[in-house]
Amino acid sequence: MRRKLAAGNWKMNGTLTSVTEVMTLCATHKDPGVDLLICPPATMIRTLGTATTDHAMHIGGQDCHAQASGAHTGDIAARMLADAGATHVILGHSERRADHGETSADVHAKALAAHDANLTAVICIGETLAQREAGETLDVVTAQLHDSTPDSATSDTTVIAYEPVWAIGTGKVPTLEQIGEVHAALRIALTSRFGQDGDAFRILYGGSVKGSNAAEIFAVPDVDGALVGGASLKAEDFSPIITALENA
């Protein structure tokens, strides 16, 4: 019922030479059984959007401003991402929450701007190691989910990515039971807030997903795909993750 999604977050990596990685992915996964998304730096969106026009590959931004335009030097409006060819935008990634002090209220405002520009918002939430060790994980992630996601969100316009902060780029992965516990709690929160449509929201897992652990993570109930950082930069690393998701 929920079409799975393999999403790559290139962070501050990628120049013109990286186009070949995406074209290799497109050639390897010509008729993918899952949705595919690459979120490169903003400088690469138009180039990749144009290069993948005839392929089942979506291109997204990594952040947008909450305002439609104005005096915000260095920022990018959601409509500018859409104008460049983006269909999605990652919002509230833990690196933005940490590096730029983004709150869930900020993410909520950015999600509204993304929806206004017809972009699908990929809203990231996740606990720190200290919060997990204090037994606060479910409280933290359900509060972030509630506060970051607008009431007007739907399963068509919004994807949730559960990314434990301590698992991002560290090689550390929660146990399958821990992933399952969080995804189940998020599903309950979504259905109690959005009714039947809450069951249709996709919930991605993110944090040190690799070809070697993807299949077991994708077998966890309510894991509808992955948001992948480091392993999305090279086609040879991302492709096995896509294949594992297609086979899940």
| DSSP 8-state assignment for residue 4 | P
Q: In angstroms, what CA-CA distances link 111 with 8, 65, 121, 167, 172?
A: 19, 9, 6, 24, 29
Closest separation in Å from C-beta 167 to ligand PEP: 6
Interaction pattern, residues 194-213, with ligand PEP; x per rule: CB under 6 A:
------------xxxx----
239 near ligand PEP (CB under 6 A): no
Nearer to ligand PEP, 35 or 194 (CB): 35
Which of 58, 194 has the CB closer to ligand PEP? Answer: 58
**Counting contacts by CB under 6 A, is residue 168 touching ligand PEP?**
yes
194 versus 203: smaller Cβ distance to ligand PEP: 203
Smallest separation, CB 159 to ligand PEP (Å):
13
- To which residue do tokens 């809450």 refer? 198
Could you identify the residue written with the tokens 């929160």? 189
Burial of 128 (0-12, 13-18, 19+ CB in 10 A): middle
Check binding of 169 to ligand PEP (CB under 6 A). yes
Least CB distance to ligand PEP at residue 73 (A): 25
Catalytic residue among 29, 58, 88, 93: 93
Contact between 9 and ligand PEP (CB under 6 A)? yes
Which C-beta is closer to ligand PEP: that of 194 or that of 245? 245
Q: Is 233 a residue that touches ligand PEP (CB under 6 A)?
A: no
- Give the Cα separation of 205 and 160 in Å (integer): 9
Of 114 and 204, CB closest to ligand PEP? 204
Query: Of 135, 130, 129, which Cα lies nearest the Cα of 181?
Result: 135
163 annotated active-site:
yes
Q: Dihedral of CA 54/58/62/67: which sign?
A: positive
Residue 163 lies near ligand PEP (rule: CB under 6 A):
yes
Q: CA 90, CA 27: separation in Å to the nearest integer?
A: 25
Is residue 228 close enough to count as binding ligand PEP by CB under 6 A? yes
| Continuous H helices in the chain | 19-28, 45-51, 78-84, 94-99, 104-116, 129-133, 137-148, 176-194, 214-218, 235-246
Which residues are designated catalytic?
93, 163
Binding residues for ligand PEP (CB under 6 A): 9, 163, 168-169, 206-209, 227-231
